[in-house]
Amino acid sequence: MARTLTYIEAINEALRQEMERDERVCLLGEDIGIGGGVFKATAGLYEQFGEDRVLDTPLAEGIIIAAAIGASLVGFRPVPEIQFADFIGDAVDPIIQQAAKLRYRSAGGFSCPITIRVCWGGGTGGGLYHSQENTVWFAHEPGIRVVVPSTPYDAKGLLIAAIRDDNPVLYFEHKKLYRTARGEVPEEPYTVPLDKAAIRRPGRDMTVITYGYMAGVTLEAADEMARRGVEAEVIDLRTLNPLDKETILASVRKTNRCLIVHEDRKVLGIGAEVAAMLTEEAFEDLDAPVLRVGAPEIPAVPFSPPLENFFMVNRDKVVAAMEQLAAY
């Protein structure tokens, strides 16, 4: 029986192993050192590597990211943390105007190998400012990878790959998965490709594309649909930027139907891009309109449980959309 870890343990192990392997790797962020992180993702690392490599920063997201960028220009591989995706606003300029563009505007003269860990997602009662998703702000920007692991195995492998990659990477870790997702994780370091989606469940009747916490929700819905005689192929994108078009197109050309499921708002979410890409490149292969399930058009995740439940995509909403797609 292979060893199992939770999602957050896998993240912690990836950080520890990369820091042991490569002394250029250093961490910085709010509460990550002495406190070990608000969710304990960096627990024990301050004690092992010291303040020089696990730095508690002033409460200022802009300089957290900018300091990481600057240090990367002189040879470090910093892994800054944004404690909650909701707080990333102050750092958007360094991320988009600097990290994502430095290589381009210097024609390769400068590169910026940083991995920005961002804690995101709803469904935990976090309310308006501890639940948001803003992955697509960055998925729209060429020059910075956006990865969204959904399993402990990917959490470790994608984080190690991100740290070793010469591009800036935004690594979005879903807080609801931290301790609810458990799975087999090899002890030795390994990487998961930063531009490849994963087929989580093969199926012939429809393709369902998803990522993050919604990957598990979608797999539950697919199991329910299997009991009803519909075999869905579930694709976990894993990376939102750049998008793995090949895997998506190959699947849709086989199943001829496609549903996109995300926790993000439906309008202008990643599903909009996938749907547009499919109409451009696989229109003749489609037997039905591309459907999407996402959050409603409200500014953020509301707090009160019935309101939050209304906001969040769940198994039943996905099943209903799959039924609709199957019936077309």
Q: Which tokens go with 178? A: 């931290």
DSSP conformation letters of 128-144: TTSS---HHHHHTSTTS
Q: Which tokens go with 313? A: 């995509």
Nearer to other proteins, 117 or 200 (CB): 117
| Contacts for 53 with CB less than 8 Å, ≥ 6 apart | 19, 23, 25, 26, 27, 45
Nearer to other proteins, 91 or 278 (CB): 91
CB 61, min distance to other proteins, A: 9
CB 101, min distance to other proteins, A: 8
Annotated active-site residue 130? The verdict is: yes
Nearer to other proteins, 145 or 174 (CB): 145
CB 97, min distance to other proteins, A: 5
229 class by beta-carbon count within 10 Å (0-12 exposed, 13-18 middle, 19+ buried) = exposed
CA angle 105, 111, 117 (to 5 degrees): 115
Nearer to other proteins, 121 or 168 (CB): 168
CB 147, min distance to other proteins, A: 14
Regarding beta strands 115-120 and 206-210, do their DSSP bridges make them parallel or antiparallel, or are they unpaired? Answer: unpaired
> What's the rounded Cα separation, in Å, for the pair 179 and 171?
18
Q: What amino acid occupies position 209?
A: I
Enumerate binding residues for other proteins (CB under 8 A). Answer: 26, 52, 57-58, 60, 62-63, 66-76, 90, 93-94, 97-98, 101-111, 113, 142-143, 164-167, 242
Residues involved in catalysis? 130
